[in-house]
Amino acid sequence: MKPGSRGLDAIDVEILRILARDCTTTTKEISQAVGVSVPNVRKRIRRLRALGVLKGCRASIDPEVLGTLTYLILFQAPEGRGGNGEVSILRSGGVERIFYSSKRGLGAAIARTIDPSGVEKIVGDIENAGFNVVKTIYIDKEVGDEPWVPEKPLERVQPKCSFCQSIIVGRPYTVVLEDGRILVFHNERCAEAYFKLGPHTRSKH
């Protein structure tokens, strides 16, 4: 089945996560947690039941239905080794895109996997190619490690893109960092550009 073919969005997924933890959660509580009205929650639950995703008092999340998991893997060449090295051999498996500075010996890889264990293999491949993995960041697209709770439920918020600082119109592209911070962007390109640039360059925006 093609990922995302059921047309579920981030709010649908969060509703599933809430019901998977406690299927007795009221629609009012779900409404406050996901930031949409109670009638909208009821409509979404009816749709999830019609799709067969939600059955009775049980909800399960299937990554193959919701889409692949996306990770940003930061790596660097061992001290004293520059150049492109074996970067080319990393373009395989779940690695979709690579950014690499031969001058600085620093790189980043965008990887997609069906489940979290897949990224461990990719990290191993990068290390076997002679690089040191600095950090692995989960990019929250459909399913995040933490539930999404709006700062002000049911109130309109105008977030700004973490990369260009302009107001985001529509649903933001969200990235959850390992330290718990949440960054929002216009789209995946803005996120990739943000992480591609060094911290000194980003401070100019």
The domain locations on the chain are 10-65, 68-139, 142-205
Q: Does domain 142-205 have CATH number 2.30.170?
A: yes
**Contact (CB, 8 A) for 14 and 33:** yes
Instruction: List, for residues 49-100, the tens digit of each pLDDT value.
Output: 887 777 666 555 555 455 567 888 888 888 755 544 566 666 666 787 888 7
| pLDDT for the residue 89 | 62
Q: Which of 189, 141, 140, 190 is nearest to 165 (CA)?
A: 190
Residue of higher predicted confidence among 119 and 200: 119
Q: Fold for domain 68-139?
A: Alpha-Beta Plaits (3.30.70)
Instruction: List, for residues 3-17, the tens digit of each pLDDT value.
Output: 344 567 888 888 888
DSSP assignment of 37-65: -HHHHHHHHHHHHHHTSEETTEE---HHH
CA distance 5 to 124: 31
Kindly state the DSSP code that residue 96 receives in the 8-state scheme: E
Q: Does domain 10-65 have CATH number 1.10.10.10?
A: yes
136: left (phi over 0), alpha (psi -120 to 50) or beta: beta
Measured from the Cβ of residue 34, the count of other Cβ atoms closer than 10 Å reads 24
Instruction: List, for residues 115-172, the tens digit of each pLDDT value.
Output: 777 888 888 888 888 888 988 888 764 433 444 444 444 444 567 788 887 877 777 7
199 — pLDDT class (breaks 50, 70, 90) = low
